[in-house]
């Protein structure tokens, strides 16, 4: 291996040997030197999952190419929410900043360079809470960084001091107040209030809504790349939250790009219109009702503007 990548990487795996093998190959080829791997134990009611998890764990313990490797092995199943959030807790007891990947997130080589660059550029800017690897709307910008209110967790990076503010438990009232205070756009506000209602009513086993709420609570922003750098290949029956192929539209190809061809401006003004397009690209295509409401709302506003212009 002729090169190494020293920024710490946390890889979270579970029961998908094929995806685990693919992402481990990417990490080996990139020369990841400081590797942390966490896995949950299989659930009790599935012998098939026991076999799959054993195959994944064999791969994990077979990693011999990273100079520094730590493994967090669970003996009982914690579930998605606690397993992932506690893995990130563990990660940040050892490092000050780093990259987080799950087994279904297949990054391009440029993802690592962009994350490393972002961690360095925004380390002291406490208004930025996360470096994204995903981009769902190609804006053809010349800027290296785009600002967003919507953290995307399919390959991302952050700092220990930001993660330390994370809370796993929010009350429904707390969550509602945060969303109401965060957004002026009524449809975006309604969308997230609806999502959080489902989260609390159905006991969704996750951790990322809480991370999003934490960032919003402190009026934080995230930065994302000008192109998509991570492909999510986790849309299958083995997925915890995206268990069928109707979500395949979210699996965008991960591309490489030359960071030096973009303006490394860390003072770009937040563009809500651009962020709204990112929001639609990631969240709206799976919601026919809200897609329709956004369409009606936009066309109503355009009609009013044209009427004003002609009067």
Structural domains in the chain, CATH included, are 1-103 (3.40.50), 109-151+158-311 (no CATH)
- The DSSP 8-state label assigned to residue 147 in this structure reads E
**pLDDT for 299:** 46
> In degrees rounded to 5, what are phi and psi of residue 141?
-75, 155
**pLDDT for 279:** 85
pTM: 0.87
Place of tokens 């990054």: 107
If DSSP codes are grouped into helix, strand and coil, which group holds residue 150?
coil
**pLDDT for 235:** 60
CB 203, CB 161: distance < 8 Å: no
**pLDDT for 251:** 53
CA 246 from centre of chain:
20
Q: Helices 208-217 and 186-202, interaxial angle, to 10°?
A: 140
**pLDDT for 265:** 77
Give the H/E segment covering residue 110: helix 109-121
**pLDDT for 236:** 47
CB 61, CB 25: distance < 8 Å: no
- What is the rounded CA–CA span in Å between residue 106 and residue 24? 10
CB 149, CB 182: distance < 8 Å: yes
Picking from 90, 81, 75, the residue whose alpha carbon sits closest to that of residue 37 is 90
- What is the rounded CA–CA span in Å between residue 41 and residue 75? 6
**pLDDT for 241:** 42
Give the burial string for 161-184 (b: 16+ CB within 10 Å, else e).
Answer: ebbeebeeebeeeebbebbeebbe
Give the H/E segment covering residue 112: helix 109-121
Q: Report mean pLDDT in 10-residue bins for the chain, 311 residues.
A: 87 97 97 98 90 97 96 96 98 98 96 97 96 86 90 96 97 96 92 92 93 97 94 63 47 85 81 83 60 46 46 45
CA angle 226, 227, 228 (to 5 degrees): 135
Picking from 72, 66, 26, the residue whose alpha carbon sits closest to that of residue 254 is 26
**pLDDT for 310:** 45
**pLDDT for 311:** 45
**pLDDT for 153:** 95
Neighbour order of strands in the sheet with 9-13: 68-73, 34-39, 9-13, 97-102, 156-159, 128-132, 221-224, 146-148
Q: Supply 108's token pair.
A: 């391009």
């Amino acid at each position: 291996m002729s090169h190494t990548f020293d920024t710490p990487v946390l890889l979270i795996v579970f029961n998908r040997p094929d995806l685990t093998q693919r992402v481990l190959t990417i990490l080996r080829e990139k020369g990841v030197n400081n590797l942390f791997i966490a896995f949950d134990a299989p659930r009790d009611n599935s012998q098939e999952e026991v076999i799959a998890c054993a195959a994944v764990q064999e791969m994990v313990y077979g990693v011999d190419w990273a100079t520094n490797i730590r493994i967090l092995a669970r003996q009982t199943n914690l579930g998605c929410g606690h397993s992932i959030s506690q893995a990130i807790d563990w990660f940040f007891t050892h490092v000050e900043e780093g990259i987080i990947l799950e087994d279904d997130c297949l990054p391009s080589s440029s993802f690592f360079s962009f994350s490393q660059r972002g961690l360095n550029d925004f380390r002291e800017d406490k208004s930025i809470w996360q470096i994204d690897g995903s981009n769902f709307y190609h804006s053809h910008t010349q800027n290296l960084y785009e600002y967003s209110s919507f953290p995307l967790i399919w390959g991302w990076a952050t700092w220990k001091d930001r993660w330390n503010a994370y809370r796993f438990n929010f009350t429904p009232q707390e969550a509602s107040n945060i969303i109401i205070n965060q957004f002026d756009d009524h449809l975006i506000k309604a969308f997230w209030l609806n999502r959080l209602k489902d989260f609390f009513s159905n006991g969704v086993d996750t951790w990322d809504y809480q991370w999003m709420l934490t960032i919003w609570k402190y009026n934080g922003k995230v930065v994302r790349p000008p192109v998509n750098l991570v492909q999510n290949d986790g849309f299958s029956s083995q997925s915890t939250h995206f268990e069928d192929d109707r979500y395949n539209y979210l699996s965008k190809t991960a591309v490489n790009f030359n960071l030096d061809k973009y303006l490394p401006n860390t003072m770009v003004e937040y563009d809500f219109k651009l962020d709204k397009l990112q929001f639609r690209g990631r969240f709206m295509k799976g919601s026919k009702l809200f897609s329709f409401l956004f369409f009606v709302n936009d066309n109503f506003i355009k009609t009013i503007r044209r009427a004003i212009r002609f009067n």
